Structure 1
Amino acid sequence: MSAAEAQAGWAIIGDTERIRPMQTQPGMRCEMRVILGAVVTAAVLIMAGCAGGPGGAPSARTAQDMPAWYLNPSAVYPDQVYLTAVGTGDTRRDAEQQALAGLSQIFEADIEVDMTTRERYREIMTAQGTLSETEVELAQTTNVRSAQTLLNVQTGEAAVDQSGRVHVIAYIERIPTGRLYVELIEKNGNQVQYFLDEAAVSGTLVREYAYVSAAAVVAAGNELLRDQLRIIAPAMGQIVRLSYTYEDVLRRRVDLAGRMRVSVVITDDEGDRVGGVLRQALGDERFPVSSEDPVLRITGRVSLEPVALSDEFETVRWVLNLAMSGPDGSALISYDDQGRASAVTIDSARAFAYRDIQDAVAKNFVRSMRRYFDGLVLGN
């Protein structure tokens, strides 16, 4: 606590949270001890009852009463040394989340990475053992209401204002955090190069694509780190050198995907509803759909039948079976799913069933395909 804050009468709660001590009338003495744990909450309530002017009403707080880091963060955390953001909430946890979200907004990343790629990045890097447990934890999202992933974020002091709102400051120390980023970026870069080297000697188109796809996933995660490093410690960002370029990795992945022709045959597929969703999903992966000399073959069957469960609604039970085989006809993926859909009419129930089937195909089956390719890389 600074001398100014001590003079203003702030008390520390749990070593970090601060609150104004009780004001007393002449001849009245109100003593308070701040302790950790559940007693802190009780202490805050007692203090709220004792504080205030005549009649017990809270006294107006002037600007001088607020901590220096709240009034002017850069005065306590200089901009050349720290990145900071102050968050406010009903609880310390809420205030911390807001502060972390505020820090995230400083980083307007030019690289967009979807959640699927983020999940694959974590799985690949963890399984490969490239990052330690501590580094993997640092690479996890900070659980802020933002898509940004930040490393080495710390929360500092907290203060409670007259209305009971909690204020917390979150900060990133530039130089130590920059060093951490450089180390992780170099490790990621080495992993990308390893995958590219393995792709060059993989021997088959499917395995080559799998390695380059994994390289693209790690490279995408690395671009986010590099983008953030340029903001945290610009000088460090300029000296980082990698053996590949992100654009070349993405281009190579697209080129290989374009050679991975996939045939799709689904029986009992009313109106080509399942086949259409499959072709769209494959197109999103840059796989061309063609029955001419396919590299991969997807076959399947859709089954819908009415079941009597209620006199008020019509119910349809659906079953979906999909399989993917390789160039030699060997089974690579087997996917089975089932469910029920109900509606007032049988036609509506069938429509709802197909919607559920389409969701299962777009999300779960495509995820199974990605896991198959990642499994080739990870030796699963």
Structure 2
Amino acid sequence: MTIMKKTLMLLISITFVVGMGCGSSGNTSGNSNSNGIPGWVENPGSEYSEAKYLMAVGSGSTLNEARGDAFSQLSQIFQMDIDATQQLTTEVIDRSTNNNFYSESTSQLLNNIKIGTNQELMNTSILTSEVDKFGTYHALAGMDRAETSRIYSQEISNNQIKISEFENNASNESNILQKLVLLTKARAVASANEVLTRQLNVIQGGAGTGGDATTTLTRIQEKFRAIQQQANVSIQSDNATYTVKSAVAGAFQKEGFSIIENTENAILGVTINYQTQEANLNRDDAEFVKWELVIEIEDKQSDRSFRTFMVEGRDGAPSYSDALKRADFTARNKIEKDFAQFLNNELLQIN
């Protein structure tokens, strides 16, 4: 073979290799459908292993929008697969987190059911992204199943230890209020564990069921309801209006207490002092009322007194009677918001 022929064959070989390389580069038009949309948008498993990743696709007019939508769609997998009737709402999650019932890790894992744009989930990354011929961006988010399952399993195990501790302490406690507090904490952590277990099952490719965690939660709820029947509160007041007194009773009932008239059978004694008086502001177009609300709580089993709740305000209206009604309305709002939080903090911080 002449040198000229060898050179020509070498050039042909190089051209062939380069051509093959160009065909497998970042241009994925060969894997797109007739609309120019990447094949992995409709079938993520065609690009990445479904056994390794829990995946979701997002789209948007920008890459950031597509990424955020992908994370959101991944969150919705938890939201759709977890039983819609389960009792742990976002409000309960947030409230229990604020009371430090959960570890930071549990709180982070619970966030996986909160759907929000650009919320990056644990062990989740954008596996690939591409813009189609119409200018729409697509992104594929994937959560590493094995590593995430390991983290969930460890946190569920840690929470089981906490639940057992709260539950055992409640069984050994004679004070009804203490029992209620301990079982409230146990119920909160057990509720979180049920959600984590459901999430874990989804990550592992199964149905979003709670299994043993649901059994534990049901057991603690039954104990909680049994103690609730003994958690009686008596409310006394010489000057509280019906609106104010009802609002205070509602705050206790929301925490699981029952309101009774007989003070002897009550574990908590509540005294309400609601003072109103005319406030002269020298206005011809309105009358004003100055009011003060003081609520005192006593643990009748241990003779322990809690901190006093106190709030005051001033309300006006065209007439004095209307100003009194408005004062009642404002006081009720303060009770439903501020006193409810005060009560929750006071009762649930008992050691």
Both structures adopt the same fold (TM-score exceeding 0.5): yes
| C-alpha contact 1:316 1:340 (8 A) present in aligned 2 | yes
Aligned equivalent of 1:114: 89
Structure 1 residue 210: deviation in Å?
1.2
2:224 is paired with a residue of what secondary structure? helix
Cα distance change, pair 163–149 in 1 and its aligned pair in 2 (3 A): closer
1:291 aligned partner, one-letter code: E
1:303 aligns with 2:275: yes
Residues of 2 paired with 1:295 and 1:182: CA distance? 40
Aligned equivalent of 1:84: 55
1:359 aligns with 2:333: yes
Alignment of 1:66-77 (within 5 A): 66-77=37-48
1:324 aligned partner, one-letter code: I
| C-alpha contact 1:325 1:331 (8 A) present in aligned 2 | yes
| C-alpha contact 1:178 1:236 (8 A) present in aligned 2 | no
Aligned equivalent of 1:169: 140
Among candidates 288, 294, 302, match of residue 258 of structure 2: 288
Among candidates 288, 301, 305, match of residue 331 of structure 1: 305
Alignment of 1:111-260 (within 5 A): 111-123=86-98, 125=100, 131=103, 136-140=107-111, 144-145=115-116, 151-159=122-130, 166-233=137-204, 245-260=216-231
Unmatched 5+ stretches in structure 1? 10-60
| C-alpha contact 2:197 2:210 (8 A) present in aligned 1 | no
Alignment of 1:1-12 (within 5 A): 6-7=26-27
Residues of 1 paired with 2:289 and 2:90: CA distance? 33
| C-alpha contact 2:37 2:133 (8 A) present in aligned 1 | no
1:366 aligned partner, one-letter code: A
| C-alpha contact 1:195 1:215 (8 A) present in aligned 2 | yes
TM-score by length of 1: 0.70
Aligned equivalent of 1:376: 350
Cα distance change, pair 138–346 in 1 and its aligned pair in 2 (3 A): same
| C-alpha contact 1:8 1:64 (8 A) present in aligned 2 | no
Percent of matched pairs sharing the same residue: 22
| C-alpha contact 1:319 1:337 (8 A) present in aligned 2 | yes
Structure 1 residue 263: deviation in Å?
0.6
Cα distance change, pair 114–343 in 1 and its aligned pair in 2 (3 A): farther
1:259 is paired with a residue of what secondary structure? coil
Residues of 1 paired with 2:278 and 2:48: CA distance? 67
Structure 1 residue 185: deviation in Å?
0.9
Structure 1 residue 309: deviation in Å?
8.0
Residues of 2 paired with 1:346 and 1:164: CA distance? 65
2:299 aligned partner, one-letter code: G
Cα distance change, pair 93–274 in 1 and its aligned pair in 2 (3 A): farther
Cα distance change, pair 209–4 in 1 and its aligned pair in 2 (3 A): same
Structure 1 residue 217: deviation in Å?
0.7
Structure 1 residue 227: deviation in Å?
1.4
Aligned pair count? 319
Aligned equivalent of 2:5: none
Structure 1 residue 360: deviation in Å?
2.0
Residues of 1 paired with 2:189 and 2:133: CA distance? 48
Residues 34-73 of structure 1 deviation map (CA, whole Å, 9 limit, x = unaligned): xxxxxxxxxxxxxxxxxxxxxxxxxxx9856544443532
Structure 1 residue 89: deviation in Å?
4.3
Structure 1 residue 266: deviation in Å?
3.4
Cα distance change, pair 360–92 in 1 and its aligned pair in 2 (3 A): farther
Residues of 2 paired with 1:165 and 1:311: CA distance? 64
Q: What is the Cα-based RMSD across aligned positions, in Å?
A: 3.7
Cα distance change, pair 267–202 in 1 and its aligned pair in 2 (3 A): same
1:7 aligned partner, one-letter code: N
Residues of 2 paired with 1:142 and 1:343: CA distance? 46
| C-alpha contact 1:96 1:170 (8 A) present in aligned 2 | yes
TM-score by length of 2: 0.75
| C-alpha contact 1:273 1:358 (8 A) present in aligned 2 | yes
